[in-house]
Amino acid sequence: MHDNVPSVDQRDRTVPINLRQSGPTPVEMQIDTRVRKSPYWQLSHEAGCWRAQVYNRIYHPRGYIRPEDGGMMAEYEALVKHVTMWNVAVERQIQVKGPDAEAFVDFVITRDATKIPPMRARYVILCNEAGGILNDPVLLRVAEDEFWFSISDSDLWLWLQGVNVGKRFDVAIEEIDVSPVQIQGPKSVDLMVDLIGDAAADIPSYGLLSASVEGCEVIVSQTGFTGEKGYEIYLLDATLHAEKLWNAVLEAGKRHNLMVVAPAHHRRIAAGILSWGQDMDAETLPFQVNLGYQIPRQKNTDYIGKAALETARNAVEAGSPPYTHTLVGLKLGGRPINDYAPDFWLISAAQDDDPIGYVTSPWYSPELESNIAMGMVPVALAALGTQLWIHLPDSYASEPGRPVSANVVEMPFRDSVNPNQRERLKVRGMDAAV
């Protein structure tokens, strides 16, 4: 365990990242009425969920297979070889509906909402006036006058309502009774065809399709938190119909080796997909975390954070970024990291130096036969090939009490099976943002 008063320079932050190394410190989580149970909560418990965390003030399943039976790596095996279902009702759905829906959404996201046609989705970010990332949802445009924000872990609903107190766009902003599940893995398309028909196979990346399952209305998107082929099923009136949808997926999945699992962070790390609150937060600029392509150069309308973001981009391009640390990919030694990290493990520039950065998301990649991670390091140490040293806990370290060697590498760590629009835009560069 490293010194609990780390030396990482965080003077550019108002609230420093908590870098205290406290270890797993397991406690029993109390289930009460102050945190919401999703419509799928009991169904997840019946499927074997044995641990959970709180995400968006909803209990979120984080493990089904016990460690002694293979744990998260066994769940990963099901994802990359067969098909999996995830309870992701924590992706609360915030509806913006009304005559000014497009104009309002265009004002709060950095991309150009006018270029999103009905029944298509986009990965987007919303920033505060300082350019900090408030949320990175999937945005669904289900009609000309209706958008859904499928949000990550921050309370976007209240912020959107607060924005409109002053702006008075003609819209209603509400959380709606829609709860998604994700269907992820190479056999996901076969399962979806069995579930809703041949039209499932024709849904494009980030496309939407209205359908029904056992008489229940759903919207299906070809999206997901992995680099595998995948879909999300958004169930309308979810409090009434959760069992019908869940059981229908289980039944359709029998012939495809379906397994109910937790979100596969090891696969999303390999795909370079970020997790809000872990790899970025409201004090992180998009340019720090490889999201510069989300800031368009040719969006003529105003949006929240535009001035700060354009100033920051100019500074980055001039070689004087307005931040000390940036996100990089890391390939590192040590024993296989086979579970969630309980701490932001520290990074040093040399084996015996004080820490100067921290790991945000680590895991073991079976395909690469190596530990991989995302981490925040000083801008001067972000070049590909830079050697760094990571202070892993003794359970993963090659030698107890000694850091392991790491190298800065490109992200994503491996190609996606089904590259989504987010990845294609990133490859094309910042000017491709829309």
pLDDT band at 5 (very low <50, low <70, confident <90, very high): confident
Buried/exposed 54-75: b ≥16 CB within 10 Å, e otherwise: ebbebbbbbbbbeeeeeebbbb
| pLDDT for the residue numbered 414 | 86
| Strand ordering across the sheet containing 216-221 | 208-213, 216-221, 230-236, 178-184, 83-87, 258-260
pLDDT tens per residue across span 249-283? 999 999 999 999 999 999 999 999 999 999 999 99
Give the tokens for residue 208: 């939407």
| pLDDT for the residue numbered 418 | 60
Q: Which of 208-222, 292-306, 347-361, 405-419 has the lowest mean pLDDT?
A: 405-419
| Residue 366 reports pLDDT greater than 60 | yes
Flag whether 146 is in a domain: no
Dihedral of the alpha carbons of 376, 266, 281, 353, in degrees to the nearest 10? -20
Q: Where are the alpha helices (DSSP H) in 61-187?
A: 71-81, 101-108, 156-167
Contact 433, 113 (CB under 8 A): no
Average pLDDT (312-328) is 97
Backbone angles phi, psi at 217, to 5 degrees: -75, 130
pLDDT tens per residue across span 28-72? 989 999 999 999 999 999 999 999 999 999 999 999 999 999 999
Parallel, antiparallel or unpaired: strands 126-127 and 133-135: antiparallel
Flag whether 138 is in a domain: no
Flag whether 25 is in a domain: yes
Contact 117, 421 (CB under 8 A): no
Give the domain CATH number at 341: 2.40.30.110
| Close Cβ partners of 277 (under 8 Å, ≥ 6 residues apart) | 152, 153, 154
| Residue 424 reports pLDDT greater than 70 | no
Backbone angles phi, psi at 327, to 5 degrees: -85, 135
pLDDT band at 432 (very low <50, low <70, confident <90, very high): very low
Strand blocks (E) in 164-312: 172-175, 178-184, 208-213, 216-221, 230-236, 258-260
Average pLDDT (160-167) is 96
pLDDT tens per residue across span 108-148? 999 999 999 999 999 999 999 999 999 999 999 999 999 99
Backbone angles phi, psi at 174, to 5 degrees: -140, 150
| pLDDT for the residue numbered 3 | 63
Q: Which of 184-198, 222-236, 379-393, 407-421 has the lowest mean pLDDT?
A: 407-421
Parallel, antiparallel or unpaired: strands 404-409 and 178-184: unpaired
| Residue 428 reports pLDDT greater than 90 | no
Flag whether 95 is in a domain: no
pLDDT band at 222 (very low <50, low <70, confident <90, very high): very high
| Residue 429 reports pLDDT greater than 70 | no
Flag whether 190 is in a domain: no
Could you list the residue range(s) of the whole structural domain that residue 370 is in? 1-30+324-434
Domain count across the chain: 1
pLDDT band at 431 (very low <50, low <70, confident <90, very high): very low
| pLDDT for the residue numbered 6 | 85
Check the annotation: does 283 bind a ligand.
no
pTM over 0.85: yes
